[in-house]
Amino acid sequence: MNLKINNHPHRRYNQLNGDWVLVSPHRTRRPWQGQQEVTLKEIRPQYDPECYLCPGNQRAGGNINPKYTNTFVFTNDFTALLPDTPDFKDTGQDLFRYSSVTGTSRVICFSPRHDLTLAEMTESDIVKVIDLWSEQIRELGQNYEWVQVFENKGEIMGCSNPHPHGQIWASNTLPVEPYKENRNQVAYYKKNKSVLLLDYLYEELKHQERIIIENQYWVVLTPFWAVWPFETLLLPKRQLLRLSDTLKEEREALAQIMKGLLCKYDNLFNISFPYTMGWHGAPFDKNRNEHWHLHAHFYPPLLRSATIKKFMVGYEMLSEAQRDITAEQAAERLRNMSDIHFKLGADK
């Protein structure tokens, strides 16, 4: 009997980080009696006097926001990383190793309007966000090896404030996930004399099976090794080391494809779709990093509907990641979604 990847359990290898994922497509036929998330289709005001991210308001730490009119960035009042941590390399003990880390954490407000998300912002306003991301990456990269731009969207992803915003954490060390990606990209480059993610992208473009949306400069796809149900990978078509290396026309095209993807996400279950997303670019170190290719990960937790999410527990925590629908099935569903937001009368 031949293996049918949309019916039979199998494992897939993640070339980018070296992990495996168990795919169990037959499990979607089982009834669900577990937790269902409560979804509130709330109508938020354009300005909330109680929001600590709205223009002119006092933040939780006591500082007052300026009356900003597009984007706004500030050092997190409760930062996870500090620039003046005493330097300490290692304890010298095999069983109890630790070292110091220095860095900073910043918050980026995408818009002064409290009632918007990136999916609902105009492309020109999304370009302003991309410009600020790029500026922050360039600035922080002068002092720190790793600059992590990310957004947690929705309460289900731990977001404590619905105002459209993201974060940037910078550190003098390479964290675990980018370390694994760097290691695997180096190994592939040495073996094949080519860039892993570019080779992968070219193969995906040939087959089109997992491509969701593309334009002249960018591609969004569901990676072959995806873990989260509707996980996506956003890639530039030419090799770029970092977001700060993009040209004006590439940023405009990026705003277009991001808006298209995020509208498809929202249209999937007619809700403001939760996710964690983040950019991975080359570290700021002394290497040329010819093996690196810029990319963004989108990790949404919802599985079957607006109220049923994927739980990373049990087997996932103790053995390896597992997913129920295949990457190909997820890509097809997202590809068939309209890229016009459902609040504007999108026709699926």
pLDDT one-digit tens code per residue, 256-270: 999 999 999 999 999
Supply the pLDDT for residue 31.
42
Q: Is residue 17 included in any domain, yes or no?
A: no
Per-residue pLDDT band for 96 (boundaries 50, 70, 90) equals confident
Q: Are 118 and 132 in contact (CB under 8 A)?
A: no
Query: Residue 231: inside a domain, yes or no?
Result: yes
Q: Give the residue, 239 or 348, on which the prediction is more confident.
A: 239
pLDDT at 23 over 60: yes
d(CA 166, CA 310): 23
Measured CA to CA, the distance from residue 66 to residue 5 in angstroms comes to 54
CATH number at residue 271: 3.30.428.10
In this structure, is residue 37 part of a structural domain? no
35-82 pLDDT tens trace: 444 455 668 999 999 999 999 999 988 999 999 999 999 999 999 999
Contact 83, 149 (CB under 8 A): no
Q: Note the pLDDT of residue 243.
A: 98
- Residue 207: predicted pLDDT: 95
- 202 lies in a domain? yes
pLDDT score of 33? 41
Backbone angles phi, psi at 148, to 5 degrees: -105, 110
pLDDT higher than threshold 80 for residue 189: yes
The answer to whether residue 3 scores a pLDDT higher than 80 is no
- 312 inside domain: yes
Q: Considering 165, 280, 291, 293, which one is annotated as catalytic? A: 165
Match 């960035």 to its residue by tokens: 73
The end-to-end CA distance of the chain, in Å, is: 37
Answer whether residue 83 shows pLDDT above 80: yes
Is 173 part of a structural domain of the chain?
Answer: yes
- Whether residue 185 contacts residue 16, with contact meaning beta carbons closer than 8 Å, is answered with yes
> Residue 85 — pLDDT band, cuts 50, 70, 90?
very high
Query: Would you tell me how many other CB atoms lie within 10 Å of the CB of residue 329?
Result: 16
pLDDT of residue 129: 98
Backbone φ and ψ of 219, nearest 5°: -135, 140
Q: What is the pLDDT of residue 1?
A: 58
What are the beta bridge partners of residue 146? 171
36 vs 317, residue with greater confidence: 317
Distance (Å, whole) CA 281 – CA 182 = 10
Residue with tokens 């409290």: 114
Q: Looking at the DSSP assignment, which residues form a beta bridge with residue 13? A: 20
Residues 5, 22: contact at Cβ < 8 Å? no
DSSP for 120-174, written as a single string: GS-HHHHHHHHHHHHHHHHHHTTT-SEEEEEEEESGGGT-S--SSEEEEEEESS-
pLDDT per position as a tens digit, 258-302: 999 999 999 999 999 999 999 999 999 999 999 999 999 999 999
Q: Rounded to two decimals, what is the model's pTM? A: 0.94
Q: Is 291 a catalytic residue?
A: no
Q: Any idea which of 30-34, 231-235, 308-312 has the lowest mean pLDDT?
A: 30-34
Distance CA 239, CA 242 (A): 9
Domain residue limits at 166: 44-344
Q: How does residue 32 score in pLDDT terms, banded at 50, 70 and 90?
A: very low
Residue 6 belongs to some domain of the structure: no
Q: Is the pLDDT of residue 338 over 50?
A: yes
Taking 3-state DSSP, the helix, strand and coil percentages for the chain, each rounded to the nearest 5, stand at 30, 20, 50
Residue 296 lies inside a defined structural domain of this protein = yes
> Given a cut of 80, is residue 171 above it in pLDDT?
yes
Total domains in the fold of the chain = 1
Q: What is the pLDDT of residues 152-168, one digit of tens each?
A: 999 888 888 999 999 99
